[in-house]
Amino acid sequence: MPNPVQISGLNYAYGEGEMRRAVLRDINLSIGAGEIVLLTGPSGSGKTTLLTLIGALRAMQQGDCAVLGQQLLGATEDQRVLLRRRIGFIFQQHNLLGFLTARQNVAMSLELDPASNERDRLTLAGSMLDAVGLADRADAPPSQLSGGQRQRVAVARALANNPGLILADEPTAALDRVSGQEVVHLLRDLARSRGVPILLVTHDPRILDIADRIVEMEDGRILDDARSRA
């Protein structure tokens, strides 16, 4: 069984010619099954770019990057779209659709399966909301939920279709300490119980405790993996 994420010799640069600016240099990183990895480092260190590359949201330029068995170097747009369906994303902003209820938002991640039906989707979405403690708010629109509740809906949405990997970018940035803690602990517990690995980019020192391993980046490189806590 290969690692869910296996990266070696990854380089990435923005711009062309004179304007070319390298943001990732010789990245080597692997995430094992069920592993929770935190990616930290100053702004501009390239961690977000790395996350978008692993999430197949951006085309690779150079190096080797296999995610859930899909080689991303030279992957087509269609291959990348298919891979994204197997990854759960959690963003800094919840980005829930305002015109849908919490339950409908979660069901959106299930509608991608052409063989699913509406009733099963809504039932499953309901039990996902139950799992994040929002059973009673399932039919509320996002505008009637607190920030922490919205981010929990986003967690439910990311986990609903049984992803093989969770990618999260500063999920606590818009939340206060208590709800931030709640959200990441929820995320950790749900992922643990299903054996889903997590790669989480954060600046937030209050949530470092959930990590199996902390990877630090600076200036486009990964610093020595010295502070592994596993």
Partner 1 sequence: MNQVSRILAAAPPAPADASLARRLGNALLPARLAWRQLRAERARLWTAIAGVMFACVLVFMQLGFRSALFDSATALPQAMEGELFLLNPMTTAMFKPEQFPRVRAFQTLADPDVAQAVPIYLSFATWRNPETGVRRTIQLIGFDTETGAVAFPGLADVIEALKRPDTIAFDRKSRPEFGDVPRLLAERGPFEAQIGDRRLELVGLIEIGPSFGADGNAVLSETNFRRIMGQRRASNTDLVALRLRPGADVAAVTARLRQLLPPDVAVVSHSQLIAWERNYWESATPIGFIFAFGSLMGLVVGLVIVYQILFSDIASHIPEYATLKAMGYAHGYLRRAVMAAALTLAVLGFIPGLLTSMLLYEFVAEATFLPLEMDWDRGITVFALIFSMCAGAGLLAVRKLRDANPADMF
Site residues for partner 1 per CB under 8 A: 48, 51-52, 55, 57-58, 78, 81-87, 89, 91-93, 95-100, 104, 108-109, 111-112, 114-118, 120, 123-124, 127-128, 130-131, 157, 169, 190, 193-194, 201
The minimum distance between CB 38 and partner 1, in angstroms, equals: 15
The number of beta carbons lying within 10 Å of the beta carbon of residue 205 is 8
The minimum distance between CB 73 and partner 1, in angstroms, equals: 16
The number of beta carbons lying within 10 Å of the beta carbon of residue 130 is 13
The minimum distance between CB 75 and partner 1, in angstroms, equals: 14
**Rounded distance between C-alpha atoms, residue 11 and residue 159, angstroms:** 30
Residue 95 backbone class (left: φ over 0; alpha: ψ -120 to 50; beta: rest) = left
Cβ-based nearer residue to partner 1, 63 or 171: 171
**Rounded distance between C-alpha atoms, residue 156 and residue 191, angstroms:** 11
The minimum distance between CB 228 and partner 1, in angstroms, equals: 24
Cβ-based nearer residue to partner 1, 83 or 211: 83
Cα-only R_g, the chain = 18
Cβ-based nearer residue to partner 1, 193 or 227: 193
Cβ-based nearer residue to partner 1, 22 or 82: 82
Cβ-based nearer residue to partner 1, 169 or 216: 169
Instruction: Please report, for residues 131, 168, 182, the alpha-carbon distance to residue 90 in angstroms, rounded to integers and kept in the order given.
Output: 16, 5, 15
The minimum distance between CB 209 and partner 1, in angstroms, equals: 22
